[in-house]
Amino acid sequence: MTQTRPAAAVRAAEPVQRLLAWGLMLVTAVALAGAARAEEKVIKTHGYSFYGELTYPADFAHFNYVNPDAPKGGEISISRLGTFDSMNPYAVKGRGGYLSTIMYESLLSEPADTYDEGYGLLAESLEYDEGKNWVIFHMRPEAKFSDGTPVTAHDVKFSHELLLEQGLPSYRAGVSARMKGVEVIDDHTIKFSFVEGISRRSLIDQVGGVPVWSKKWYEESGARLDESRLETSPGSGPYMIETVNVNRRIVYKRNPDYWGKDLPINKGRNNFDRIRVEYFGDDTVAFEAFKAGDYTFRIEGDSKKWASNYNFPKIADGQVIRTELPDGTPATATGIVFNLRRDIMKDKRLREAVALAYNFEWTNESLQYGLFKQRTSYSQDTPIMAEGPPEGAELEFLKSLGDLVPPDMLSEPARMPHTSDASRLSDRRNLRSAMKLLDEAGWPVGNDGKRRNDKGELLSLTFLFDKSNEGTLSAVMENFVANLETMGITANLEKVDSAQYTLRERENDYDLVFDFYRPFLGTGTGLAQMYGTPADGGDSLFNPAGLASPLIDRIIDASLRAESLEEEQATLRALDRALRYEFIMIPVWYKPAYWLAYYDQYDHPEPLPPYDLGYLDFWWYDQAKAEALRAAGALR
């Protein structure tokens, strides 16, 4: 007999049935997701590269470029210009002492013969899912700070959170938007999880590169990461501070109890017992001190000195080596930077006119002994340097950005610096072009030879310059300013001491500044810190021009989302092209070699790796040669 249920009862049962059905579906979905996670590939490795290819195997004995049998001992001494008032380089205020990060290590460390590869230092291994949604670092239990306390996952978590709380605002804004969480699994295991739906670039390598500080020291001392101070937390690295004499000298000594001295990653490295940094007010005094033997290793940057001043007796006697060694890194993007935060600098015609005051050809021939090449690119002489009009994958990528890309960027060659007459400082052709541009920009010249706008305001520019860079560089900038004055621009080259320079640069108190941007060989979130619009609407210390361009932002974002090396290089070539189009600085010069002079008591491996000179890292001290120099009275 069939029993019929009342209609109301049927209606009441329908939600329950639907709930049961949805519950079954949910259980099934969870089961399927669990099965998918179980099948998801997990990579377990001794190092990390975004594309998964590592140069060194898990059982590598040492890096290829080191001398694994390099002797330990001796001292290397170098110079630094200017001043310092802090040993905390992470603070916004104050000027950090040179090498004051040397005491601190990270989970991963990069060798000098590869790009975008990191190998386990504090971490002995890591594992991550194929989608790079999380990473787990397995730390070396033997790692210790210089005070003997162990380095643990708790210290790593503390350091990461300290940077987010008290680090630079641009860092905090960039990283916090990408980090989902950090979890200490046990004393030597830590897991980082990343936000979904964002680029997987600069996630694992970023957390792997964070310096690790002692949680115990910070909590007991009450110190802050963002404060200027001379006291430092213990580090786990091979060197520790021996003495600090503010504005005069810093001495670092090798930790005799360094926990990681026998690791393959450290073989043939950290060879000096002491690293001494001598401070000088200007380079003339510093050079004389080098000749006298007050310090022993010098990287020369002044072309005049290099061409004509390295003829003193110790060179002739062979006691001081003068040499050039190849530099495989892209040239630092140095130049006269426009402060685009200033309304006056927003007009590209004015910037073009100001640039025409710089005469590279005359400067190089008359002041720099013809020793330099003119820099054009932010990735000079690399495969991602933009040349000619865009083509192939780069052109297709730029077209995909639509109206963000100016039409002439798609058809014209990449921007190149103007050329000038090498025979005279003021190139008349360039001067006429500059005058026309200034007129078009609304800055006509008056009867007194000065340029004013329609409000009667002088075209006046403040050029901030660190006076510790006196010498050839100062002369170059003085001649540049002289050409500006010839155009009718009121230009003031403000030479200030290093402390004032640092303060005013951080406060963006300039129209022009001689500064630099780091070049790039690959992508990473550091590109956004240097060239991108700050996510928090603030400012970045790494972006002296204050560049804020939707086009640049989109290109950087696309480079971070690239899924192959070829795609990445196409976007970075477009980035180089776009940066040159935006015209945020007047590029100056570069040289593809290091100019070195050092007392003949040091040796280095042959050949050197492409991405680091490594004189503080994998060079070493020759005791017999040093004793001979002292016996001859060459060293103090």
Residue whose C-alpha is closest to residue 46's, from 35, 59, 30, 33? 59
Q: Cis (ω within 30 of 0) for the bond into 607?
A: yes
Where would I find the H helices in 416-536?
428-440, 472-486, 498-506, 526-531
For the record, the structure tokens of 412 come out as 């014209």
The amino acid at residue 158 is F
φ, ψ of residue 336 to 5 degrees: the values are: -90, 110
φ, ψ of residue 570 to 5 degrees: the values are: -65, -40
- What is the Cα–Cα distance from 149 to 219, expressed in whole angstroms? 14
Residue whose C-alpha is closest to residue 390's, from 587, 581, 570, 579? 570
The amino acid at residue 426 is S
For the record, the structure tokens of 315 come out as 């060179």
Residue whose C-alpha is closest to residue 181's, from 195, 196, 193? 193
Which residues does 392 contact at the CB level (< 8 Å), separation at least 6? Answer: 570
Sequence-ordered strand ranges (E) for 410-456: none
For the record, the structure tokens of 489 come out as 């621009």
Three-state SS for 579? helix
Q: How far apart are the first and last CA of the chain?
A: 115
- What is the Cα–Cα distance from 247 to 83, expressed in whole angstroms? 5
pLDDT means over runs of 10, the chain (636 residues): 34 36 39 49 96 95 98 98 92 90 97 95 98 97 98 98 86 82 98 94 94 98 94 97 97 97 98 98 94 97 94 97 94 96 96 98 96 96 96 98 97 97 95 97 96 96 91 93 97 93 92 95 89 78 93 96 94 98 97 96 96 97 97 91
- What is the Cα–Cα distance from 317 to 275, expressed in whole angstroms? 26
> Is 486 in contact with 163 (CB distance < 8 Å)?
no
Provide the residue ranges of all domains of the chain, joining segments of one domain with +: 46-221, 243-251+273-328+592-631, 333-590
- What is the Cα–Cα distance from 330 to 113, expressed in whole angstroms? 14
Residue whose C-alpha is closest to residue 354's, from 583, 590, 589? 583
- What is the Cα–Cα distance from 305 to 572, expressed in whole angstroms? 36
Which of 3.40.718.10, 3.30.470.30, 3.10.105.10, 3.40.50.10470 would CATH assign to domain 333-590?
A: 3.10.105.10
- What is the Cα–Cα distance from 141 to 110, expressed in whole angstroms? 21
Evaluated on CA atoms 380, 381, 384, 385, the torsion sign reads positive
- What is the Cα–Cα distance from 32 to 42, expressed in whole angstroms? 18
SS3 readout for 582-608: HCCEEECEECCEEEEEEECCEECCCCC
For the record, the structure tokens of 364 come out as 């190089």
- What is the Cα–Cα distance from 300 to 613, expressed in whole angstroms? 13
For the record, the structure tokens of 204 come out as 């694992």
Three-state SS for 565? helix
For the record, the structure tokens of 374 come out as 């003119």
Q: How many other C-beta atoms are found inside a 10 Å radius of the C-beta of residue 478?
A: 12
Residues 622/623/628/634 CA torsion (nearest 10 deg): 70
For the record, the structure tokens of 21 come out as 């059905």
DSSP letter (8 states) at residue 458: B
For the record, the structure tokens of 7 come out as 């209609």
- What is the Cα–Cα distance from 59 to 64, expressed in whole angstroms? 13
Burial of 2 from C-beta contacts in 10 A (0-12 / 13-18 / 19+): exposed
Which pairing describes strands 179-186 and 585-587: parallel, antiparallel, or unpaired?
A: unpaired
Which residues does 129 contact at the CB level (< 8 Å), separation at least 6? Answer: 40, 41, 42, 43
Which of 3.40.50.2300, 3.30.1490.190, 3.40.50.10860, 3.40.190.10 would CATH assign to domain 46-221?
A: 3.40.190.10
Residues constituting the chain: 636
DSSP letter (8 states) at residue 228: -
> For the chain, how long is the longest CA-to-CA vector?
121
Which pLDDT value is given to residue 10? 32
Report the DSSP beta bridge partners of residue 335: 515, 587
Find tokens 């708790």 and name the residue: 154
For Cα atoms 280, 284, 286, give the angle at the middle one, nearest 5 degrees.
40
- What is the Cα–Cα distance from 616 to 345, expressed in whole angstroms? 41
- What is the Cα–Cα distance from 596 to 300, expressed in whole angstroms? 6
For Cα atoms 71, 74, 75, give the angle at the middle one, nearest 5 degrees.
130
Which residues does 633 contact at the CB level (< 8 Å), separation at least 6? Answer: none
540: enclosing H helix or E strand: none
